[in-house]
Structure 1
Amino acid sequence: MNRMDELEKYRKIIRQQEEFASFTDNEFEQLAQQMQVKTFAKGQVLFDQGDPRTRFYYVLDGVVRLERVDETGSFPFINYVSPHKAFPYRGMFVGETYTYAAMAMTAITIASFPMPVFEKLLRDNKQMMVCLISQMGQIIDDDENRLQRMVTSSATHRVKQALMLIAEDLGTQDESETTQIPYPITLKEVARVSGTTRETAGQVVSKLVDEGVVVYQHKNFQFNPELLT
């Protein structure tokens, strides 16, 4: 498949997604003409917190890790963007810089569009504005929920909650209600999400494995979330 065919394939995929479906054909054409599709290796940085907010991204394949830290750099707030989801919504219309850093957690293929063009088209399309408000409302609800679930002095509880949050972002559930996370998750990653040390995260995970609550093989997690509550 040549480059033009590949771009057309991605363009058709994106056109059908919720973030773009309500644009008119003319509006989407304006956006698609300036679409860029790039690949990033695992660990590559798309942008840092505080960089100029110039692009709107849509994940085609792989996982993007978003991390925001406080002024001391001590307390990270981590989210994941899985395939067929867009970011950033935070700062839409008002922000001049990215409020978090974005890094390829796996090898990724990602489309992006100029932020000024995307914002202008949103302003001109009421249906898309409703979709945007809905998306932002969901993000606020999710973030508040994450904070509430992590406000505890129990490291064990935070590690369990971290596993559940990662599963909610990236996991898939089978008929037996077992959730599998089809991406490698290191103990260091669990530690960062839970605000614990790697040693503590490792001890908690090992105990959960010994109890038969969690399966952790080759950095892949599998568990029933109800057993972690």
Structure 2
Amino acid sequence: MDNLTPYYRLLKSHHLFTGFSDKELQHLLAECHLKKLARDEWLFHQGDPAPAFYFVIDGSIKLFRTNRDGNEKIIEVINNHETFAEAIMFSGQHNYPVNAQALKASTLLAIACTRYIDCITRHPQQALALAARLSQRLHAKINEIETLSLKNATHRVVRFLINGITDNLSREPVVELEIPKRLVASRLSIQPETFSRILHHLADEKIIHIKGKLITILDLERLLHYE
């Protein structure tokens, strides 16, 4: 555990682990291991055995599927201090349903599913925290499916920008594109050129300003009601 000690407080602050006693969390951490990935390195492939879920200490991981033509569909992008693949513990499956690949150099903490389940059986409050987390993800996916199936490309981009705002109190909030535009487009099920065209159209109308990976919302009210 010695090499994992620096991550103890980081893990302790995450809602999936806050209910554990110090002793229980130390025991869990003792059975975890670090996984370091270079940019574009694979963590696992769809169908691989799924003995663990992951906590992102630093970096960015894309979860995706590939069709027969080799085209990627981004399912989710996981960033610093977020977890992924925890749902596999209760799905009745024993294999990862998606691919996972690092978008940049990343450091992960692999947490054994069996050990975590053993811990939450002794801490019911943690089971509730996990259920809440999975419920949040389910609702997010339902909303995403609705947007992708019922809304046009412009609406998808607008919702992406609104959902990306982290400082709602700022007069001109900023959205940072943490992944390449082509991956954002894949996540929104539109072509990269369509995504870029819509962004530039919003910029021409003085609703947003684009500078590299940063998109400044110049007129939030117009963006909220943009069709």
With the length of structure 2 as denominator, give the TM-score of the two structures. Answer: 0.83
Distance in 2 (CA, whole Å) between partners of 1:96 and 1:220 is: 40
Choose from 206, 210, 223 the match for 2:204. Answer: 210
Correspondence for 2:82 among 71, 82, 85: 85
SS for the counterpart of 1:38 is strand
* Higher mean C-alpha displacement, 31-40 vs 66-75: 66-75
Task: Pick one of 43, 46, 56 that aligns with 1:46.
Answer: 43
Q: 4+ residue runs of structure 1 moved beyond 6 angstroms?
A: 70-75
Which deviates the most, 142-151 or 60-69? 60-69
Residue 20 of structure 1: CA displacement?
0.8
Structure 2 residue identity aligned to 1:199: E
Check conservation: 2:51, 2:113, Cα contact below 8 A. Answer: yes
Q: Aligned-pair RMSD on alpha carbons? A: 2.7
Q: TM-score, normalised by structure 1?
A: 0.83
Structure 1 residues 147-226: aligned runs within 5 Å: 147-152=145-150, 154-165=152-163, 167=164, 172-173=166-167, 175-176=169-170, 178-223=172-217, 226=221
Aligned match of 2:223? 228
What is the letter of the counterpart of residue 176 of structure 1?
Answer: S
Structure 1: gaps of 5 or more residues? none
Distance 1:183 1:175, change over 3 A: same
Compared with structure 1, are the counterparts of its residues 75 and 59 closer, same or farther at alpha carbon in structure 2 (3 Å cutoff)? closer
Does residue 32 (structure 1) correspond to residue 32 (structure 2)? The answer is no
C-alpha distance in 1 between matches for 2:28 and 2:80: 20
Distance 2:84 2:221 in 1: 29
- Alpha-carbon separation, structure 1, partners of 2:124 and 2:69: 40
Alignment partner, residue 118 of structure 1: 116
The separation in 1 between residues aligned to 2:189 and 2:178, in whole angstroms, is 19
Cα deviation 1:108-152 (Å, max 9, x = unaligned): 222111222112222332111111111111111111111112223
How many residues of Structure 1 are paired with residues of Structure 2 in the alignment?
222
**What secondary structure does 1:176 align onto?**
coil
